[in-house]
């Protein structure tokens, strides 16, 4: 089982100088549950300072820790974060990576994650089966770091090489000494290694949303065999049809291993160096050979602090998969929005609460691109719309008293 409580080491007073540790309740709560309640003030040599990754603001905490001879802990989003990137949506992370040694993406130092992958036996049969089961669920449910996806697939006939772009100056890129030249070299190697194959460059979700620039642009599509893909297809669907995957240090490389690929890696991310990747620049100290299940066990079960928003407790990865599957179902059902017909005025606010998280709910005007729903008792046998009705657990009072329901039921062919 995962570590639900505090770290193996005794808890330490933890200070922070990045606003997110104080303003983002989810982050503050996960830190508290993990034995690191965040506080203001100045640490002493027995305390620690929390810093967020390698962000510009992290250097404030690093400077304070050095001057006060305090320990550092490095905090990052867990490898399953949310449906959308943080810059695209205000949704907080589902878990944190709390490391007392180094950032997991910085191979110049040995992180707690690398110690797990190097020193932990990772051989318990039950734990490895949990890892295999969780990997299968991520593939089948199309769960990734940013799980939201649509159906806009590129042409997959004949296969292709998938090249992964990343956001410019991302900490994981800089830690791997990534720059324009390295990304161009990666693309060149993909062409040289697969001279007769199409190459699809997958843009980062934040680039597609217009939030951050990437390293690749249309200028890199120098032949008709190279294309830049900015659609919303699931990364799992893209990898399923790819004959090879190339990355510098993206988490997609880790997901490619889960998908059964042996990705070509041009940086030094945590998943490189264990015999599961083609490494352009190997990390010489990493000599152990791991299976994909062992890598997953270390990186996704032993290392993160996962948080159950419904029980306000730390939890296992299976709970995170349960919740992400439910979120994906809601997103896929509601992302286009709805034309809602015959919905009484007092119910409309609650309809927007239920169905309007990802697309508009229209009660008066209609959109030809949106599906239609109708209150069940107003539907006829010829109605092609989705029927909606109060759920089986409704409320303490009656709808006649204008008490909103706690649940709703939808049905495409009838109603219960």
Kindly list the structural domains of the chain, giving each domain's residue range(s) and its CATH number in brackets, ordered by start. Answer: 125-287 (3.40.50), 336-411 (no CATH)
Q: Whole-angstrom Cα distance, residue 195 to residue 223? A: 12
- DSSP count for the chain of H helices, then E strands: 13, 18
Q: Is the pLDDT of residue 5 over 50?
A: no
Q: Whole-angstrom Cα distance, residue 211 to residue 317? A: 29
Q: For position 414, what pLDDT does the model report?
A: 79
The predicted model scores a pTM of: 0.93
Q: For position 1, what pLDDT does the model report?
A: 44
Q: Count how many Cα atoms sit within 13 Å of the Cα of residue 123 in the half-sphere of its side chain.
A: 5
For residue range 73-82, what is the model confidence (pLDDT) as tens digits? 999 999 999 9
For residue range 298-330, what is the model confidence (pLDDT) as tens digits? 999 999 999 999 999 999 999 999 999 999 999
Q: Is 277 exposed, middle or buried (0-12, 13-18, 19+ CB in 10 A)?
A: buried
Q: What's the whole-number mean pLDDT along residues 337-364?
A: 92
Name the DSSP letter for residue 291: -
127-145: buried (b, 16+ CB within 10 Å) or exposed (e) per residue?
Answer: bbebbeebbebbbebbbbb
For residue range 83-133, what is the model confidence (pLDDT) as tens digits? 999 888 889 999 999 999 999 999 999 999 999 999 999 999 999 999 999
């Amino acid at each position: 089982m995962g570590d639900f409580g505090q770290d193996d080491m005794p808890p330490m007073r933890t200070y922070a100088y990045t606003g997110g540790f104080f303003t983002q309740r989810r982050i503050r709560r996960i830190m508290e549950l993990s034995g690191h309640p965040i506080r203001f003030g100045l640490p002493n040599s027995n305390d620690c300072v929390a810093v967020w990754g390698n962000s510009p603001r992290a250097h404030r905490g690093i400077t304070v820790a050095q001057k006060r001879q305090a320990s550092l802990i490095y905090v990052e989003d867990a490898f399953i974060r949310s449906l959308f990137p943080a810059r695209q949506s205000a949704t907080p992370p589902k878990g944190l990576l709390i490391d007392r040694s180094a950032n997991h993406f910085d191979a110049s130092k040995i992180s707690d994650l690398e110690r797990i992958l190097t020193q932990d036996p990772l051989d318990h049969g039950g734990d490895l089966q949990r890892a295999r089961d969780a990997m299968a669920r991520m593939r089948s449910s199309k769960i990734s770091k940013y799980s939201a996806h649509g159906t806009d697939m590129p042409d997959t006939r004949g296969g292709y090489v998938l090249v992964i772009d990343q956001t410019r100056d991302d900490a994981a890129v800089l830690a791997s000494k990534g720059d324009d030249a390295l990304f161009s070299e990666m693309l060149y190697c993909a062409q040289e290694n697969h001279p007769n194959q199409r190459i699809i460059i997958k843009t980062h979700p934040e680039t597609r949303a217009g939030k951050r620039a990437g390293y690749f642009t249309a200028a890199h599509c120098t032949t008709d065999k190279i294309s830049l893909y900015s659609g919303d297809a699931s990364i799992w669907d893209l990898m399923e049809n790819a004959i090879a995957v190339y990355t510098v240090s993206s988490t997609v490389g880790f997901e490619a291993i889960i998908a059964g690929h042996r990705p070509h890696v041009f940086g030094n991310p945590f998943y490189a160096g264990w015999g599961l990747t083609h490494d352009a620049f190997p990390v010489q100290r990493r000599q152990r050979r791991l299976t994909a299940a062992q890598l997953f066990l270390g990186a996704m079960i032993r290392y993160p602090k996962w948080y159950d928003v419904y029980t306000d407790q730390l939890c296992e990865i299976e709970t995170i998969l349960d919740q992400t599957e439910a979120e994906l179902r809601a997103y896929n059902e509601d992302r286009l929005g709805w034309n809602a017909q015959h919905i009484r005025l007092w119910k409309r606010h609650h309809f927007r609460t239920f169905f309007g998280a990802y697309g508009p709910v229209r009660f008066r005007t209609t959109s030809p691109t949106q599906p239609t729903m109708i209150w069940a008792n107003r539907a006829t046998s010829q109605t092609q719309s989705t029927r909606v009705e109060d759920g089986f657990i409704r409320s303490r009072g009656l709808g006649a008293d204008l008490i909103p329901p706690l649940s709703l039921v939808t049905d495409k062919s009838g109603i219960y």
